[in-house]
Amino acid sequence: MSEAKGEKILVTGALGQIGTELVDSLRDKHGTSSVIASDIRSINEQNSTSKGPYVTLDVLDTDSIIKLCTDEDIGTVYHLAALLSATGEKNPELCRKVNVGGTISVFEAAKKCSLRVFSPSSIAVFGPDAPKHAPQVTDLNPTTVYGETKVSGESLAKEYGDNYGIDVRGIRYPGLISYKAPAGGGTTDYAVEIFSAAINHGYYECFVRPDTRLPMLYMDDAIKATLMLMDAQSDALGPSRAGYNIDCHSFTAKELADAISQEVDGFKCDFVPDVRQKYADSWPDSIDGSVAKKEWDWSPNYGLEAMVKAMLDGLSEEH
């Protein structure tokens, strides 16, 4: 694997659910001026990302990425720009264009500018034929366009690694639960929306069945995993480096609602499944993260109860 030349970091899709928190953590670690946030959207001053360097950047514009990386001496890109599952299934062409085309743009820039890349994958790579406790290695036959784009992302990462020595790393994130930025149009958004609905209205109408069980992770753990993977020695990472399953927590929508009811008096949740039920049903209930555990020692800090408390405390403080 080639060494990155530049010192600075570029984050694409930085105004999204993950980027909003990852940029803050990267700035705490590397210094504010070393981390350039970017997104196709323009920024407003309320966003914490506005406290440091920000550029408007479309990830489909390869030339602009290359120019920015050259001018700013970028060495590492955290490539978060994408369309998520629910939004992607509504607009499959745009989903393919942004998720696959954007990833190729970033990898081409990596080739030209000797960049290291973090390019996240998703549990959406698994299809209904995968074991319900999904192993690291199994056939990947997703039934969503979003899932297909994530399988392509992992294949492209392998290809650019094998053919051009680009160091691309990725995690198959499960549903991520956080309160600092809204969820970005994914199937696991119910596990985010339910918290503010509980605090503000004491009621939530959940769009999946109560028995829907999916792997989930609190955002603090997702950020920690991302930074740990990028800090790992390259030679410790095996063939799963572009899409690690990581240990997380699996619970049903009803178990989540019940855990919130323990903390929020009178909270009531109804379950009215919509089209997103189909996407959820095609994904695993839980995932086996033993390869990530072995290669870079990953384990999460937050279980269901701790995550529910952290979410409710965080949201109450924000109010």
**Contact status: 58 vs ligand NAD (CB under 6 A):** yes
User: What is the distance between the alpha carbons of residues 209 and 184, in angstroms, rounded to a whole number?
Assistant: 21
Q: Supply the DSSP symbol for 100.
A: I
Distance of CA 180 to the CA centre of its chain: 14
Question: How many other β-carbons are positioned within 10 Å of the β-carbon of residue 211?
Answer: 10
By CB under 6 A, tell whether 223 contacts ligand NAD. no
Phi, psi of 203 (to 5 degrees): -150, 140
Instruction: Compute the CA torsion angle 70, 73, 75, 76 (nearest 10 deg).
Output: -80
The candidate with the shortest Cα–Cα distance to 170, out of 118, 134, 96, is 118
State the DSSP code for 52: S
Query: Does 82 help bind ligand NAD (rule: CB under 6 A)?
Result: yes
Smallest gap from Cβ 98 to ligand NAD, in A, equals: 5
Catalytic: 160? no
In terms of Cβ atoms closer than 10 Å to its own Cβ (0-12, 13-18, 19+), residue 158 is middle
Q: What's the rounded Cα separation, in Å, for the pair 45 and 295?
A: 40
- Show the site string, 90-119: x = touches ligand NAD by CB under 6 A, - = not: --------x---x-----------------
Q: Which of residues 147-206 bind ligand NAD (CB under 6 A)?
A: 173, 175-176, 184-186, 188
Closest residue to bound ligand NAD by CB:
16
Using DSSP bridges, classify how beta strands 116-118 and 74-79 pair: parallel, antiparallel or unpaired. Answer: parallel
15 binds ligand NAD (CB under 6 A): yes
Q: Which of 54, 78, 146, 279 is catalytic?
A: 146
Residue 41 sits in the site that holds ligand NAD (CB under 6 A): yes
Taking CB under 6 A as the criterion, the residue among 84, 145, 194, 260 binding ligand NAD is: 84
Q: Is 215 in the site for ligand NAD (CB under 6 A)?
A: no
Stretch that binds ligand NAD, among 10-18, 159-167, 281-289, 307-315 (CB under 6 A): 10-18
Active-site positions read 146
Residues of this chain that interact with ligand NAD (CB under 6 A) are: 12-13, 15-19, 39-41, 57-60, 80-82, 84, 98, 102, 120, 122, 173, 175-176, 184-186, 188
